[in-house]
Amino acid sequence: MPMSRKFAAEFVGTFWLVLGGCGSAVLAAAYPELGIGFAGVALAFGLTVLTMAYAIGHISGCHLNPAVTIGLWAGGRHPVGEVLPYIVAQVLGGIAGAFVLYMIATGKPGFDVSGGFAANGYGAHSPGGYSMAACFLTEVVMTLMFLVIILGATDRRAPAGFAPIAIGLGLTLVHLFSVPVTNASVNPARSTAPALFVGDWALGQLWMFWVAPIFGALMAGYLYRWLAESR
C-alpha cells in the first residue's frame, strides 16, 4: 500500500476518533437531562476505533494513536521508517477533528473553550482532582494494557475478524476507568488536538500525555514479544 494512502487513512481515522470521542464529551456528556455521562463518552471512543478498524484497518492498520504506532514498532509489528509519518498523520487528523468540533461547539451562544474542551489534565485539571503521580500511573498502565489487547487481538494466531471488537471494547474499558482521573488520553494525538484550542494549562500539562502513553506502549510492545515468542 502506498505511504500516501496509509497517511491519508491515519489522518481520516484520527479525525473521526477526536471528532466522535471528544465531540461526545463536549456536546453530549452533560447535555441537560439526557446527558450520556462518562459511560457514554467511553462507549463513543470505543465505537470510533471499532468502526475505523473495519473501515481502514486493511489500509493502514488503523493505529490512530502515536502510542499504538510506537508500541507496534516495539512489538515487531511496524517498520521503523513508517513511525514518524504515521505520527504526523495522526496529530494532523486529530487537530482537524478538534477544529470541526470547535466550529460546531462555538455555534452555541455562551460556549467557552476554557471550560476544558475535553482536554486531558492532572491535579486541579483532573476531573476527579487526582495528583500528577496518580494520573501518570493511570496513563502508563492503561496504555500498556490497551496495547497488550491490540497486539494479542491482531496476532496471526488469534481468531480472525474479531480484533476490531476486542480493541473497541478495550478502549471503552480504558475510558470507563480513566475518564475520572485524567479525562482519558492513552493517545498523544487525541490529547494534543483539544489542548491546542484550550491553550494555557492544557498545553502546560500536555507533556504527560505524550510521555506516559509512549512509555506504557513501549513496555507493552516488549512484554508481548516476550509473552508470544515461539520457541
pLDDT by residue (tens digit) across 137-149? 999 999 999 999 9
Tell me the pTM.
Answer: 0.93
Residue range of the domain that includes 18: 3-228
The model's pLDDT over 21-45, given as tens digits with 9 standing for 90+, comes to 999 989 887 666 667 888 999 999 9
Return all residues near 214 (Cβ < 8 A) that are at least 6 apart. Answer: 66, 67, 70, 143, 188
Residue 10 in this model has a pLDDT that exceeds 90: yes
- As given in the structure block, the three cell numbers for residue 106 are 462555538
Radius of gyration of the chain (CA): 17
Closest by Cα among 105, 101, 82 to 93: 101
Our CA dihedral for 68, 72, 74, 80, rounded to 10 degrees, sits at: -100
Per-residue model confidence (pLDDT) at position 28: 85
Please state which of the ranges 31-35, 154-158, 174-178, 188-192 shows the lowest mean pLDDT: 31-35
Q: Quote the number of domains for the chain.
A: 1
Among 142, 163, 165, 161, CA closest to 151: 163
Q: Look-up: residue for cell 487526582?
A: 130
Residue 187 is which amino acid?
Answer: N
Q: At a CB cut-off of 8 Å and minimum separation 6, what does 210 contact?
A: 66, 188, 191, 192
Q: Residue 31's pLDDT is what?
A: 60
First to last CA, the chain: 32
pLDDT on residue 157: 85
Grid coordinates given for 70: 510506537
Q: Looking at residues 81-105, what average pLDDT do you find?
A: 96
C-alpha to C-alpha distance for 158 and 72, rounded to whole angstroms: 16
Name the nearest CA neighbour of 216 among 180, 176, 186, 174.
Answer: 186
- pLDDT at residue 160 tops 90: no
Query: C-alpha grid cell for residue 207?
Result: 507533556
% pLDDT > 70, the chain: 97
Mean pLDDT of 83-98: 97
Residues sharing a CB contact under 8 Å with residue 111, sequence separation 6 or more, in sequence order: 105
Measured CA to CA, the distance from residue 104 to residue 86 in angstroms comes to 27
Question: Is the pLDDT score of 207 beyond 70?
Answer: yes
DSSP 8-state symbol, 26: I
- Provide the CATH number for the domain around residue 43: 1.20.1080.10
Q: Has residue 162 got a pLDDT over 80?
A: yes
Cβ(10)–Cβ(60) below 8 Å: yes
The angle subtended at Cα 132 by Cα 214 and Cα 138, nearest 5°, is 50
Q: Which amino acid is residue 97, in one-letter code?
A: G
